[in-house]
Structure 1
Amino acid sequence: MEIAVVGRHTDVTDRFRDHVEDKLAKVSQLAPNARRVDVEVTHEKNPRLADQSERVELTVRDKGPVIRAEAAADDRFAALDLAIDKLSERLRRSRDRRKDHRRRGPGVSPPVDVRPYDEVLAAQPEPEPEPASLSTPGDAVEYQLGDSPVVIRQKLHRGEPMTADEAVEHMELVGHDFFLFIDKESARPAAVYRRRGWTYGVIELDATCSGAAPVTSLT
């Protein structure tokens, strides 16, 4: 299993790289098909965030969905320990889910609540458009929002056709509250998001509205 360690706004020492390899040894036990683990270390320079100045993000890539976990602390070794605990829990959850899916068979979906797009986003302010140059999946840019201290990180992901059930599974495994995807049946861009308890919502965009670019299914 390949382990790739990179630093954003910081240098990564050989001592930390060796520590990462030792700590991630158990990943191969929980995910024997894992081909690669990406470890991203970020240093936050803002003194007001000193207790979370070191952030570690772990991404496991194998034949199934991507599984991700991240954590922050005042020390990167402590942040790594926290992130590995989260990652291990999600790897176990993924393993148990596959076992349960094989036992029950296909066709069993989590509860999904579909609400109108306007109802979900009515109270949210419109973001200010900012120029960005993103052309390849994985590309990311950061920019400051006007004169405010707000920094926005924009990243391009490849949209994969899948069902809402599959999108919920991907969302749970990366630990996010939402997940963007291309609906396999309608070929429309969509998002699942976490609601209360074990219920989820689905938002689809009408790509045929005036001014919208045509959307095709990605294969």
Structure 2
Amino acid sequence: MEIVVVGRHTEVADRFRRHAEDKLAKVQQLSPSAQRVDVEVTHENNPRLSGVRERVELTVRAKGPVVRAEAAADDRFGALDLAMEKLAERLRRARDRRKDHHRNHTVTPPVDVRPFDPAEHGAPEPPAPTTPSHPGEAVETTIGDGDSPIVIRQKLHSAEPMTMDDALYEMEMVGHDFYLFVDVETSRPSVAYRRRGWTYGVVALDTACDCAEQKVEKSA
């Protein structure tokens, strides 16, 4: 199993890399099919956020759905421990689900959500795009200036149609409060989201409208 540790806006020392590798050795026991674990470390420079200035995100890539967990603390070693606890729990739930309910279920292939790195692929770095152009790419744009600019990060994912039950399951596995998917029964883009009291909601888009025609009417 490959373990890749990267820093975002920060350097990652060899001591932390070795500690992360020791911690993540447990992943292979909980998910024997795990092929790779990505560890992303982010440092927050804002002094008002010193209590959560170090954030660690763990992503397990296996033959099944992507499983992710993240946590923040005042140091990256503590953040790694917290994230590992969440990850272990989600891996156990994924293992139990496979045993009890989905022995014959075909799961969605994992999606590479890392930003595209031209140097890694031996290509010259192109001008910064304003929107992602292929699956797996993430693009950040800044709106406004001054003391409070707004940073918007856009990601493009490939989508396999799935049931609502599978969408809720994958939402839990990545630890998000929402999950965007294509409903296999209606072929509509849909969003599952968490509500209060362990209930869920789903919003679907009606894509039957002719958006190009509406745009012409508005400009007329």
Q: Same fold (TM over 0.5)?
A: yes
Unpaired runs of at least 5, structure 2: 106-128, 214-220
SS of residue matched to 2:25: helix
Query: Within 2, Cα distance between the matches of 1:25 and 1:172?
Result: 23
Match of 2:169 in 1: 169
1:182 is displaced (CA, Å) by 1.0
Large movers: runs of 4+ above 6 Å = none
Taking a change above 3 Å as real, the CA distance of residues 190 and 48 of structure 1, as seen in their structure-2 partners, is same
Superposed counterparts of 1:35-114, under 5 Å: 35-101=35-101
Superposed counterparts of 1:1-219, under 5 Å: 1-101=1-101, 132-147=130-145, 148-211=148-211
SS of residue matched to 1:17: helix
Unpaired runs of at least 5, structure 1: 107-130, 214-219
Greater relative contact order (CA < 8 Å, ≥ 6 in sequence)? 1
Match of 1:216 in 2: none
Taking a change above 3 Å as real, the CA distance of residues 200 and 52 of structure 1, as seen in their structure-2 partners, is same
Which residue type is aligned with residue 13 of structure 1?
A
Residue-by-residue CA offset, 1:95-145 (whole Å, 9 max, x unaligned) = 122222159x98xxxxxxxxxxxxxxxxxxxxxxxx822012221122333
Taking a change above 3 Å as real, the CA distance of residues 142 and 100 of structure 1, as seen in their structure-2 partners, is same
- State percent identity of aligned pairs: 70
SS of residue matched to 2:101: helix
Residues 138, 156 of structure 2: 8 Å contact kept: yes
The aligned length equals 188
Residues 39, 56 of structure 2: 8 Å contact kept: yes
Residues 131, 154 of structure 2: 8 Å contact kept: no
Query: Within 2, Cα distance between the matches of 1:38 and 1:8?
Result: 13
SS of residue matched to 1:161: coil
Which residue type is aligned with residue 155 of structure 1?
K
1:186 is displaced (CA, Å) by 2.0
SS of residue matched to 1:29: helix
Query: Within 2, Cα distance between the matches of 1:168 and 1:194?
Result: 9
- Give the TM-score normalised by the residue count of structure 2: 0.79
SS of residue matched to 1:96: helix
Query: Within 2, Cα distance between the matches of 1:96 and 1:137?
Result: 30
Taking a change above 3 Å as real, the CA distance of residues 19 and 166 of structure 1, as seen in their structure-2 partners, is same
1:91 is displaced (CA, Å) by 0.6
1:181 is displaced (CA, Å) by 0.7
